Structure 1
Amino acid sequence: MAMEVTRELLHRLPKAELHVHLDGSLRPETMLELAAEYGVKMPAADPETLRDYMHVKDARNLVEYLDRFAITLSVMQTADSLERIAYELAEDLAAENVRYAEIRYSPILNSQGGLPLTETVDAPLRGLARAKADFGIETAIIICGIRNMEPATSRDLADLTVAYKDRGVVAFDLAGAEYNYPAKKHKDAFYTVINKNMAATIHAGEAYGAESIHQALHYCQANRIGHGTRLFEDPDLMRYMNDFRIPIEICLTSNVQTRAVESFEKHPLRMYYDEGLILSLNTDNRLMSATTVTEEYWRAHQYLDFTWDELVNITMMGFDSAFMHRTQKLEMCERVKREIESLKPAKA
């Protein structure tokens, strides 16, 4: 008999989070405390009002969605704040049974107050190490280049990524405004990372069409695609991604917020799943999208009719798509399978 899908059951489901931005996932309470400490003005004085303000409800496109990040970044310019925010994000993820998370951000945006780039990485790593000790959650960092910055900046961030290979950083990404900022301009940065046998993922096909995904794959050699919402516009490219088993990091809620799709019901997730593509479900930004990993799974069930077995399949695809050494990944997948099996009701 098919298992009934409930929020409580999805909460208990062990999950992987492969696409979550550090600077998009702060607790409002923490923002206010840090703002008071650093003399930064916030747009609201109490946590709930601030939470509501940071929840993007009126963006007409990706660029407007990204405007709120200036607020979070204003309190992310010290080592202590970065360590705390990383720790709290891992704590929040662990609280909803996320077993593994890859947390991404662009360190160049955290050095505006003079913090050395190395410390912008060391500080979050310290927070994530404490979270592992306290909550058992496995985490890693993905460093992001920014599309609308100079390619030279991306190359610097790629060098930083390589410097932290096997020290907590697992991949390089390209984020930010997509339209009119092609990935191919940053291909040298990706060569730097790939040449050192490290992984790459790129935001693509969110605010621009399938051509953006094509560049991410064929100019920058991406191992995964972030969002990929408009992949279906190029059926031949979609077959290519399916044939070569290139995973897509799906972020349902933020895709609706940025108008990448008209509604949850019209999101191509169901089409991609039925075509056999490799997928994961992710939050993108827990604060700006007012969501959790559990909520993303629930919305897939609620709006796109995903069954329990299909959602279990997606969670396993998420773990299998992790930028983790194969032996570690296989061990984690076995643990997750046993945990999922334990969720089934006992036979009478």
Structure 2
Amino acid sequence: MAKLTIQDLQRLPKTDLHVHLDGSLRIPTILQLAEEQKVKLPADTAEGLRPFVEVGDDCKSLVEYLRAFDVTLSVMQTYESLVRTAFELAEDAAKENVRYMEVRYSPILHQQKGLTLHAIVQAVLEGLAQAERQYNIKTGVILCGMRHISPDISLRLADLTVAFKNKGVVGFDLAGAEENFPAKRHKDAFGRVLQNNINCTLHAGEAYGPESIHQAIHLCGAHRIGHGVRLIEDGDLLNYVNDHRIPLECCPSSNVQTKAVKKMADHPIRLFYDLGLRVTVNTDNRMVTNTTVSKEFQVIHEELGFNLEEIKEVIIMGFKSAFLPYALKRALLAEVVHELKAFKPGSLESKKEQL
């Protein structure tokens, strides 16, 4: 198998369908926002702060992984900070040729300084729109209910999702710790979203078993599954997911860090792909995991044996899985397929085409 370089992978057009805004800040931005807002951080230099907001493979659990968000959320409580962080996330993604990205976050976590839920959504949409005007990237927003917060709050966030339908919000999600917080408690929120013909995805099968995925699909109507690594434990459900082309939002490096899988060699994305499931490759949290979409493809290329043709197919699955209207999706896919056919590793010609 010819080895692809990180530069090759950066040049490929890509999606990122599972990326959290509050886990994808730039460290210098956190420091600057903290200074402007008089927020006390655990450290006041980039190197000092890094251990608090980036985790490595020695991370013990999802709970430990989530501690970084206490730091990021502390500086994401103003309208301006949300515009800026959303813009920078889209800018960083565009610079590695991510053409379509769905940014997710829970507006309820950004109200410490009195911002309204509407203003919070508007700020993120404004930042993403600025990036779309400057770069070759399209974006959408997914609003998240939180498993450990009251189902009534999820219902409010579902109503917010409905209010911003066709205004940049493309879906609804349920995030947060899985164990002891079953998705079925939030099924009314998903009912509200589905009744309004809006797409939904749920974090499931990451820190809890396949029954979590079962609830997400059969009780909450999930159109996609976030992570889903534990699907490997239930062959019958796996076949259902495959037969119904329910995409899996795989985040390989993050799954190793949160101990959803023990080591990269154990990641089921290889098996899922070989069985024909619709798999997509995503960052989860660009800063916390210290990754990019290109790095995630490099990981599955080098450690799980995905060759260029297989990577191209996974990229196409990403675009097919986007929460986009059919006509837009079809046009974007046609453009991407044309580029993928012309792509040659290390080719100067294809480099010029990308510029």
TM-score, L = length of structure 2? 0.95
Question: Which range is displaced more, 42-51 or 145-154?
Answer: 42-51
Q: How far has the Cα of 1:35 moved from its partner?
A: 0.1
Asked if the contact 2:183/2:216 (under 8 Å) is kept, the reply is yes
Question: Which range is displaced more, 61-70 or 258-267?
Answer: 61-70
Asked if the contact 1:205/1:229 (under 8 Å) is kept, the reply is yes
Asked if the contact 2:52/2:68 (under 8 Å) is kept, the reply is no
Measured in 1, the distance between the counterparts of 2:146 and 2:28 equals: 28
Asked if the contact 2:151/2:189 (under 8 Å) is kept, the reply is yes
Structure 2 counterpart of 1:121, one-letter code: V
1:30 match: secondary structure: helix
Give 4+ residue runs of structure 1 displaced > 6 Å after superposition. Answer: none
What are the Cα deviations for residues 30-54 of structure 1, in whole angstroms up to 9, with x where unaligned?
0000000111111222223323431
Work out whether 1:227 is the aligned partner of 2:223: no
Measured in 1, the distance between the counterparts of 2:153 and 2:140 equals: 22
Work out whether 1:82 is the aligned partner of 2:82: yes
Structure 1: 5+ residue stretches without partners: none
- Residue in 2 that maps onto 1:273: 273
Q: How far has the Cα of 1:113 moved from its partner?
A: 1.3
Identity of aligned residues (%): 54
- Residue in 2 that maps onto 1:9: 8
- Residue in 2 that maps onto 1:215: 215
Measured in 2, the distance between the counterparts of 1:243 and 1:285 equals: 29
What are the Cα deviations for residues 82-123 of structure 1, in whole angstroms up to 9, with x where unaligned?
000000000000000000000000000011211000000000
- Residue in 2 that maps onto 1:139: 139
2:90 match: secondary structure: helix
- Residue in 1 that maps onto 2:127: 127
Measured in 2, the distance between the counterparts of 1:340 and 1:54 equals: 35
1:259 match: secondary structure: coil
- Residue in 2 that maps onto 1:40: 39
1:230 match: secondary structure: helix
- Residue in 2 that maps onto 1:51: 50
Measured in 2, the distance between the counterparts of 1:260 and 1:326 equals: 33
Measured in 2, the distance between the counterparts of 1:268 and 1:136 equals: 32
Measured in 2, the distance between the counterparts of 1:15 and 1:163 equals: 29
Decide whether aligned partners of structure 1 residues 327 and 3 sit closer, same or farther in structure 2, where only a CA change above 3 A counts.
farther
User: Matched residue pairs, number?
Assistant: 345
**Root-mean-square deviation (CA), in Å?**
1.1
- Residue in 1 that maps onto 2:294: 294
Q: How far has the Cα of 1:269 moved from its partner?
A: 0.6
- Residue in 1 that maps onto 2:21: 22
Measured in 2, the distance between the counterparts of 1:116 and 1:136 equals: 31
Measured in 1, the distance between the counterparts of 2:52 and 2:188 equals: 38
TM-score, L = length of structure 1? 0.97
2:299 match: secondary structure: helix
Asked if the contact 1:206/1:260 (under 8 Å) is kept, the reply is yes
Measured in 1, the distance between the counterparts of 2:71 and 2:162 equals: 29
Measured in 1, the distance between the counterparts of 2:5 and 2:32 equals: 35
Question: Which range is displaced more, 62-71 or 296-305?
Answer: 62-71
Structure 1 counterpart of 2:127, one-letter code: G
Matches within 5 A, 1:1-348: 4-57=3-56, 58-344=58-344
Q: How far has the Cα of 1:3 moved from its partner?
A: 5.4
Asked if the contact 1:51/1:287 (under 8 Å) is kept, the reply is no
What are the Cα deviations for residues 281-303 of structure 1, in whole angstroms up to 9, with x where unaligned?
00000111011100000000111
Q: How far has the Cα of 1:341 moved from its partner?
A: 2.2
Measured in 1, the distance between the counterparts of 2:247 and 2:327 equals: 19
Asked if the contact 2:82/2:124 (under 8 Å) is kept, the reply is yes
